Amino acid sequence: MDISVIGINHDTAPTDVREKAAFTNSQKVGLLNDLLDYGIREAVILSTCNRSEVYIAYRNKECAQHISYVKEYYKSKIMLEGCEKYLFVKKGKDAAKHLFDVSAGLKSVVIGEDQILGQVKDAIMTSMEIGASKKILNKIFREAITTAKGIKQGLKISERPLSVSYIGVKYLKEKMKTLQGKKALMIGFGEMGKLALNHLLEEGVDSIYIANRNIEKVKSAFPNHDVIRSLAFSDRYDVINDVDMIICSTASPHKVIKYEDMPSIDKDIYILDMAMPTDVDIKVGEMEGVFLYDVDDLKEISKNNMKERKRLCKHAEGIISKDIRGFYDWMNSIKVDPVIKGINNMCREVESDTLDYINRKIELNCREKKIVEKMLSSALKRVVRNPVLKLKEEKDEQKVENYMEMLDDLFDLRMG
């Protein structure tokens, strides 16, 4: 038995193709049942916004046929001429490594992100619930999830922040010593601003004004919030001396804080300009008591964090390689199970037929029957012991395959 993965992800296909390849929950169940009906022994589907992947387990001689079936399914689903160029196929240890890397977040758009691990867990649970995942895929998904948890807890890759909003708030905290009990003015309420707002709330900021051109948008989002207050965009300068920090993140092509409109500053104020183009007139940073920072001040931190994530990923690769070796040692140990089971069944059948014959021909008491049974069972075990041990201990995978096929053929073990 071995495994493969066939699919599409953010490395191989653009967004519009990935959208066509994505699975709804009902489509997952439908395809898993189709794969089982076709004769694929085990299957798991992992479908997220950035990837759509089908993992299958099969006997080696079924490999090409089963991979081809999954590829044809993808082609019929995507329905784009030449879409096969977007598909990737990984087999054996390469497929195992791919799953381990994906589970640990090493293949994510943002390296080390945590969300994918939950999605991997959901994928295997769905497959197990309908009986599509069995001994092989259950084992490798369980191992990949365990390894990913160990990497996340031990290396803490995801704790090296990359988002400008997160780094920006932490940067202000470092400069101001603490954000707890402070007051903030936020100008702009887009995606980046919302993320920064969440981080400010986590840091225990006492009061946050949000100045936005669409004030109703802010009011409807926070109708009765103790900390957040909506503010008309035109009133933004009125509260500057009441706050300790300003965070700007608008999409305006013009400056939203101009030097000539700034009030006199009677205390230190920290301004973080996350916009591009910048929101704050550079001359504002020259004012007494004003500390102005922009995206360039954060880039180096983000860059260093990405370098550190990549360095930690190298370490994670070593952990993954070791665990994949462990999985394949287990795979090799169970590979011969059907042959051994077949040989044992054959011995039991010979033993049963022989005992029936002896009992018909010779009248034995209970004690004599037990002695004959024990001697016959022991003799048959002696006959097969050495071949079975050699089969279990053989490390050459090709030899193992050859032995298994030979025994299956010679003794008609019906391994399937």
Q: Which residues are catalytic, by number?
A: 49
The sign of the torsion formed by the CA atoms of 87, 93, 96, 98 equals negative
Beta strands in 252-368 (DSSP E): 269-273, 290-294
Measured between alpha carbons, how far is 60 from 401 in angstroms, rounded to an integer? 9
Distance CA 286, CA 395 (A): 72
Q: Are 245 and 172 in contact (CB under 8 A)?
A: yes
- Within 8 A by CB and 6+ apart from 318, the residues are none
Helix (H) or strand (E) holding 94: helix 92-103
Joined tokens for residue 375: 């001697």
Per the structure block, which two tokens stand in for 244? 């300790």
**Residue 127: closest CA among 117, 141, 114, 116:** 141
Tokens of residue 408, six digits: 């299956």
Name the 3-class secondary structure at 90.
Answer: strand
